[in-house]
């Protein structure tokens, strides 16, 4: 995955970033057993869901750098 992020870091335009981001595969995340209701875990889950959904709720794409 690091190689894909390295390639993404080298792009010079938004269009190149859009084309390169398809090569970035995010790993599946799972909540540690018994911790799903902790505030920090819930906040991270919200961020993850927005990233996976493309950020439509925020009015546009979410870019994590």
The tens place of each residue's pLDDT in the chain, 65 residues long, gives 466 678 778 888 888 888 887 777 767 777 778 887 888 888 888 887 887 776 555 555 556 55
Tokens of 46: 């919200």
The three-state secondary structure class of 24 is coil
Q: Are residues 36 and 55 in the same domain?
A: yes
Long-range contacts, stretch 37-45, CB < 8 angstroms, 24+ apart? none
The confidence score (pLDDT) of residue 45 equals: 82
Q: How many structural domains comprise the chain? A: 2
Q: Cα–Cα distance between 25 and 23 in angstroms, integer? A: 6
Q: Are residues 16 and 36 in the same domain?
A: no
Q: Are residues 5 and 19 in the same domain?
A: yes
Please, what is the end-to-end C-alpha distance for the chain in angstroms?
A: 14
Range of the domain at 36: 31-65
Q: Are residues 40 and 54 in the same domain?
A: yes
Q: Are residues 42 and 21 in the same domain?
A: no
Tokens of 52: 């996976």
Q: Cα–Cα distance between 10 and 42 in angstroms, integer? A: 32
């Amino acid at each position: 995955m690091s190689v894909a992020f390295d390639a993404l870091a080298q792009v010079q335009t938004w269009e190149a970033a859009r084309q390169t981001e398809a090569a970035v595969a995010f790993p599946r995340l799972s909540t540690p057993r018994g911790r799903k209701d902790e505030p920090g875990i819930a906040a991270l889950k919200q961020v993850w869901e927005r990233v996976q959904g493309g950020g439509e709720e925020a009015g546009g794409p979410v870019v994590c750098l």
